[in-house]
Structure formats: C-alpha cells, structure tokens
Structure 1
Amino acid sequence: MRAVGVTEFGGPEALHVVDVPPEPLGPGQVRLRVTAATVNPTDTYARNGTYAQRDPVKQFPYVPGMDAAGTLAEIGPDVQTDLRVGDRVMAVVLPSGAHGGYREDLVVPARSVARSPENAGDAEASTLPMNGLTARLALDLMALQPGQVLAVTGAAGAFGGYVIQLAKHEGLTVVADASEADEQLVRELGADVVVRRGDDVAERIRERFPQGVDGLADGSVQNELVLPAVADGGTVTTVRGYEGNGERGLRVHPVLIRSYAEEQEKLDGLRALAEQGVLTLRVARTFPAEQGAEAHRLLEGGGIRGRLVITF
C-alpha cells in the first residue's frame, strides 16, 4: 500500500512515497480507501522529528496526516453504524509511526468517521475533520453565550475560519485579525470587526472593545501577547498547549484534538453545517502523492490560504 512518509526525519525533501503493509482491522474499527489527505502545520512536526519523542511506535516509516477522506472499504466486528461499504466518508486521524492520514489504506476507530458532505469532493471533505473538530472543541470549552464577544487570531487560517463561522452561527459577535491582504476574506467568513494582525493585536482589539472581549481563540499561537485583549475572568483557547500565566482570573484551555477524535456526532454535525453552507471548505491546491514534499515546502513557505491536499 502506498503512503507518503519519511524514512529519516528532515526537511520537506525527506517526504516521499513509501510502501506500507495494510493495517489489521480490529473490533470497533473501519477501513478507508483514502483518496485525499489534508496537509496541516502539525504534519511538518511529524516529518521533521519534533513529535517522535512522544510517539510510542518509534520506528520508520513515519506517515503524517490527521485528516483523510475517501471511501469506506470494510467494517470491523462490533461496529454499530448506519454507514455502509462504498459510502464516501471523512475521518480524523491520530498519527503514530506508519499510521497517519497520508496513506491509501487506513484503519481508524469507527467513531472517528462520518459521511462526507454531499456537496463536497473528497479533497474538500478532507479539510474538515481535524480543524473543524478543533474549532468545535474550542467553542465548547469557552461556552460563550449568544451576544458575547469572541476574538479570533489567525482568522484567515483553517482553524480560525471555522471558529468564526461556527461562532457566528451560534450568535456570537466576532472580532478577528487579518493582514491587509486577508481582510476581505476574513470579513466574508463572517467577522463583525476586523483589526490588523501583529504583536499589538491585543491593543487593537481593546481599542474596539475597551472592556475586553469575553473569549479568545488564539489560532496564531501568540499566547501571552494576546491575553490583554480578554476581560478579567474571560476565557481563552490555545492550540499549542499554552496554559496561561495565571493572571486576572483568565480561564485558559489548551485544545487537544485527541479528546474529540471519536466524537462522531460532532463530526457529523460539522458535515451537516458544511452542506448547509454554514462552513466553507477551502482547498488551495492538490498534489499527487509523489509531490507530497512540494506540498510541505509550500506550506512552510507561508501565505497559503485554504488547505493543501495530497491525493491518491
């Protein structure tokens, strides 16, 4: 079975097509024939070895990838599902060793899988699970109420875009950051107020909301730099494990997708919102498996809007 992975850690050039055996199918699991796998920033850390120290497998090849879409190929024992072999599906993946989204044969827990949106191709569907569930988790942790104000940094990115759209759907007022080039995009995603991105974004948010915002989703990983934007006692979600500085009663929640990796109902809810047009699935470009290294090279170069997708 083909996969895109590394046999030694390194830069984008280390990524190439590798041959991996089919994964065994156990109880509670399903097998996917993957046709599309989204390239996310976290995948670059799997490729360069940053995450290897916490991986229990510790053997090559390493195959990155936290999102996949394709066709349901096989259903294991003890699976209760209305999905059928042949259905178009999408899945969130917790990669480890050769088990990652960048492989054409993939076994995952049945509860990590949902139908793909009917109005989306496999490349588009593959962009939803990981970033969509992370956005869903961030909003669930903050538990803001309709009418409250949410700030979003990294708003033009996949996580930030989904947070904006989900928040607006749930009645929140959204202030988001953007570069001049991305301002129109962020407004189209639904932001009520757009401020210029940068190290002083907290100050810019306070200029528009002097009392501070009720919550903040920090997709730009600015951590302590953005905390001053939040009102005393407010709530913050972070995407790289930052837990706050303990000041002003702020409640800081790192969002870890592992906790939502088998929340099938939530993933299916995102599918429904995509079909309704609430969520926008953005693909910047697709690459055949043989060009996976180029996808990583472009991603690390920055400035990509929408997701890069590897196809099989």
Structure 2
Amino acid sequence: MRAAVVTEFGGPEAVTIADVEVPEPGAGQVRIKVAAAALNPVDGGTRAGVFGAAPGGAYTGLGWDAAGTVDAVGAGAGFAAGDAVVALVHGVAKPLGSHAEYVVVDGAAVARAPEAVDAVHAAALPLNALAADQALGLLDPAPGTSLLVTGAAGALGGYAIQLAGDRGVTVTGLARESDEELIRSLGAEFTTDPGRAAYDAVLDAAVLGGEQALRWTRDGGAFAAVIPNTAPPPARGIRTAALDVRADGARLAQLARLVDDGVLTPRVAETYALADAPKAHARLAEGGIRGRLVLVP
C-alpha cells in the first residue's frame, strides 16, 4: 500500500510516498481502509523532526485523523467489517499514521462516523474536536461564565467555541479582523484585542504563551495551554494546565453525534490526493488556513 512518510526530516519536500506492507490488526484492533485523513500542524512538526523518529523504524509515518471503513478486525475489537468510522491515530513518532491507504488502530480509539457529513469532513473531527473537548475539561467552565479562546478561527479553536457554547458558556474568540464573520457564525463574541478584559477561563489555542494569555485571566480563574508541558506557573490563584490529547473512542462517538445534531461543524479548506502530500505540507507551512487540509488516498 501507499503511505506518506519521512525518512529524513526537513521541509515539505521531505515527505515521500512509500510502498509499505498492509498492516494487520491484532487483538482489540481494527484496520481501516482510509477514505480521508486530515493534515494537522503536529504533522508538520513530525516532518521537521521536532519529535524524533519512530523507534526502530526506517521511516516515520504521518497522520493523526482517519475516516473510512473498517476492513478487518482483531478479536474483541468491537467493530465489524464495513462499519463507517473515524479514529484518532495517536502518536508523534510512529511507523505508520493515517496518511496511508490503510491504518490499524486500537478499537478503543475508534467511533462510528457522523452521518451528516462525508468522509472528507469527518476526517477533520478526531484530533481537533477531542483536543478542544479535553482542553475544556481542564478548564471546566460553568454555564454563565466567560471564556476567551485565542486562535479562535483555527480548527481546535472553532470546536472549542461550539462545545463551550453548547454548555452555556459565554465565549469570546480572539482572531484577526478578517475572521470576525467566521467567529460570530460559530456562536462567539469577537475581539482582536482583549485589552484589560479578564475572563473566567482562557484557552490558548493560538499558543501565544502563558505570560501573554494569563493577563486576560481573572484572579482565581483557569488557563489551559494546548501543547504538553507548556503550562505557566500558577499566578494570582489561577489554575493552569496543559493539554496532552489522548485517544477516546467513546467520547469521539459523542462528538460525532454532535456533528449530526448540528452542534459541531467540521471545516475543510482544501483536499489533496495522497500522492500530493508534499504539496499539502507546503500549503500548511504557508499558514492562514481556515479549516483543515485533507488527504484523500
């Protein structure tokens, strides 16, 4: 099968399409025939060597998000061949990721796909929706409290706005002036500069850094970073935490239902053939994308 991998770290040109063996599922695992797989900033970091190489491998695989159809199952996997699914293929340094024709995933990381969107849009759900949901779990904002989401026009930020709004939280999105219409359409108030505002909770999806974003958090509030081990020290009674996203098929199934209910909106900016993965990485590196780039094997 074909898979997007890196054998030497570098820029977009480091991504190659390799012929590799089709992986076999073990006990509790499923093999997915990939119909679509989103490209995320973490894939750019993997390509550049930020996280190191896959242990013991000649190449490192790319891709965290997968949407497709179950093709084969191991004992006790909980799914059957033919099921339409989405999955989080967790890991920054792995031999194979979802940017491939087939991927094997633990059944506990898999959920039935939303029915209201196609596979391309479903592929934009797992990583960013789970990250937004788990970051909100760290903040635990109560209904009626205020939340500032930086990087609100991004995929993670957009899901955070919609999930928090569904909880009854008053959300303000920090983004560029050109993104105002988008932010308001997601259900948030909009700002380009919070100034002296102090929110009950701040989710720093833009990775501005704790010193900056803590200024917008009220005394005794809560702050969450979206990169592991980057939480600033607590200050002024503020709870601080950093997200380390984890696979959770049960919660992913609930998020998929929220797509069907119209609460969550997967956004796709562009699609690329798997063979054009280097071009997709080049577009990712340019920045300014509103929605996910998605590879189609």
Task: Give the shorter-chain TM-score range.
Answer: over 0.9
Say which SS state the counterpart of residue 97 (structure 1) adopts.
coil
**After superposition, what is the alpha-carbon deviation per residue over 1:111-166, rounded to whole angstroms, capped at 9, x for unaligned?**
11111111111110010000000011011111111000010000000000000000
Match of 2:222 among 215, 224, 235: 235
Kindly indicate whether residue 198 of structure 2 is the aligned counterpart of residue 186 of structure 1: no
**After superposition, what is the alpha-carbon deviation per residue over 1:155-195, rounded to whole angstroms, capped at 9, x for unaligned?**
0000000000001111000011121111100110110x211
Q: How does 1:112-261 map to 2 (within 5 A)?
A: 112-191=109-188, 193-196=189-192, 201=193, 203-204=194-195, 206=196, 209=197, 212-223=198-209, 224-241=211-228, 242-258=230-246, 261=247
In structure 1, the partner of 2:60 is: 62
Say which SS state the counterpart of residue 44 (structure 1) adopts.
helix
Q: Is the 8 A contact 2:5 2:96 kept in 1?
A: no
Q: Is the 8 A contact 2:87 2:249 kept in 1?
A: no
Amino acid at match of 1:237: A
**After superposition, what is the alpha-carbon deviation per residue over 1:80-102, rounded to whole angstroms, capped at 9, x for unaligned?**
x2x32111111001133322111
In structure 1, the partner of 2:36 is: 36
Amino acid at match of 2:134: L
Say which SS state the counterpart of residue 181 (structure 1) adopts.
helix
Unpaired segments ≥5 residues, structure 1 = none
Distance 1:93 1:303 in 2: 25
Distance 1:307 1:243 in 2: 26
Kindly indicate whether residue 75 of structure 2 is the aligned counterpart of residue 89 of structure 1: no
- 1:35: Cα distance to partner? 1.6
Q: Is the 8 A contact 2:3 2:96 kept in 1?
A: no
**After superposition, what is the alpha-carbon deviation per residue over 1:210-240, rounded to whole angstroms, capped at 9, x for unaligned?**
xx21111100001121111001111111112
Say which SS state the counterpart of residue 5 (structure 1) adopts.
strand
- 1:265: Cα distance to partner? 1.7
Q: Is the 8 A contact 2:144 2:168 kept in 1?
A: yes
Identity %: 42
Say which SS state the counterpart of residue 13 (structure 1) adopts.
helix
Say which SS state the counterpart of residue 18 (structure 2) adopts.
strand
CA RMSD of aligned residues (A): 1.3
- 1:11: Cα distance to partner? 0.4
Amino acid at match of 1:168: G
Q: Is the 8 A contact 1:60 1:97 kept in 2?
A: no
Unpaired segments ≥5 residues, structure 2 = none
Q: Is the 8 A contact 2:25 2:31 kept in 1?
A: yes
Q: Is the 8 A contact 1:287 1:311 kept in 2?
A: yes
Distance 2:44 2:58 in 1: 16
In structure 2, the partner of 1:51 is: 51
In structure 2, the partner of 1:264 is: 249
Distance 2:33 2:240 in 1: 38
**Aligned residue pair count:** 294
Amino acid at match of 1:251: R
In structure 2, the partner of 1:11 is: 11
Distance 1:246 1:257 in 2: 21
Q: Is the 8 A contact 1:18 1:61 kept in 2?
A: no
- 1:58: Cα distance to partner? 4.5
Distance 2:23 2:16 in 1: 20
